[in-house]
Amino acid sequence: MATALTLEQYLARNGIAYDVLPHAPTMSSLRTAEASHVSANELAKAVVLKKDKGYLLAVLPASQHLEWEALGKWFNQNLALATEDEIAWLFPDCTPGAVPPIGEAYGIETVVDDSIAEQSDIYFEGGDHVTLVHMAGPAFCKLMANAKHGRFSRQH
C-alpha cells in the first residue's frame, strides 16, 4: 500500500489533510467503489486524454460516463484516450490504470466535472490498485481551484 510520491509531495506542499485506505485489488473504478464500500459518486476517476497539442486529465465520478462530444466541443478539438505508453510517461510513479485525479501535481491540464465537486467526501486512487486517498470535499475543491470546471458526464 503506497501512494505515488509525486502525489504525496504535492498534497504536503499544499497542506492538504488526507488519509489512505487500503482496498482489495481492483481493475475498474466501479469495482474499487464497491470493494471500498464508498459511493461511486464520491470516487473521482481520472481519464487521460490526448488533445491536438498536449494532454488533458478529465476528472469525474466513477458513477458517470464521459460525454466525449460535450468535452470535445468545449475544447473545440478532437480528443482521444491517451495510450498506455503515454500514460506511463506522464505518470511514471503510478500503476497503469490508477492515475490520481490531481493533474496539476503532474503538470497536466485538468478539467473537473461539477458533479464530483459537489460531494462532501472525495476518494481516489493513490497511484496503485490497492490504495484509496480520502479527503474532505472542500480540500479536493481547493486542489482543483486552477482546473476548468463544467458538466461533461452522464450517469451509467
- Give the tens place of pLDDT for each residue, 45-63: 999 999 999 999 999 999 9
3-state secondary structure at position 130: coil
Domain that holds residue 89: 5-155
Q: What is the CATH number of the domain that holds 100?
A: 3.90.960.10
Number of domains observed in the structure of the chain: 1
**Angstrom distance (rounded) from CA 62 to CA 33:** 8
**Angstrom distance (rounded) from CA 86 to CA 76:** 22
What does the chain come to in residues?
156
Specify the pLDDT at position 78.
87
Evaluate whether 17 touches 40 at the Cβ level (below 8 Å): no
For the entire predicted model, the pTM comes to 0.94
